[in-house]
A = this chain, B = another copy of it.
Amino acid sequence: MKTRLTLIFLIAVSIAITCVVIDRGRAQNAKQASPIYGVTIPDGYRHWELIAPALEGDPLNELRAVVGNAEAMNAYRSGTLPFPDGAILVKLAWKRTQSHEFEPASVPGAPTTVQVMVKDSKKYAASGGWGFGRFIDGKAVDQAQHETCFACHEARVQGHDYVFTRYAP
């Protein structure tokens, strides 16, 4: 009887340890950081407010929506530039697919990338104060892709604190 109880106890402990290990693995995976910048996908971003939608034409052919945390939304609504430290923008993207219920419309299909910009003027001083992260299925893409982020933003939208998206009222 005592042996059986000890066995059950050991099995229970093993299960508990396994669960903890699996859970940690998931958390690390979900929190994978981008190369160069160490940016992660922020918790709860899907609950953030909408800044604006967009259409990315061929070859990607994606519908997109950029959402922002409270710091970002406050800056947009008050017209504050540069964005304050702590502002975070997340761009969601989906393949654009024809609606089968309403002919003139196309709607989000499969999700593609999640792209993140984090404002920290000290940490990211070398890239206009912004850290970048591009994720597919929750995993950051490679360093070569991340090397293109700031170069493009710097060349095209330096006058808007390196941010493309404007607030759509």
A107/B56 in contact, CB under 8 A: no
Contacts of A147 in B (CB 8 A): none
Chain A stretch 38-52: residues in CB contact (< 8 A) with chain B: 46-50, 52
Q: Is A104 an interface residue (CB 8 A)?
A: yes
Nearest-CB distance from A92 to chain B (Å)? Answer: 7
Q: Mark A75-117, 1 if CB is under 8 A from B, else 0.
A: 0000000000000000010101001011011111001000000
Cα A107 to Cα B48 in complex, Å, equals 20
Number of copies: 2
A54's contact among B57, B58, B107, B166, by CB below 8 Å, is which?
Answer: B107
Bound complex: CA A108 to CA B92 (Å): 16
Q: Which residue of B lies closest to A165 (CB)?
A: B107
Asked if B168 contacts A92 (CB within 8 A), the reply is yes
Query: Which A residues are closer than 8 A to B by beta carbons?
Result: 46-50, 52-58, 60, 63-65, 67, 92, 94, 96, 99, 101-102, 104-108, 111, 156-157, 164-166, 168-169
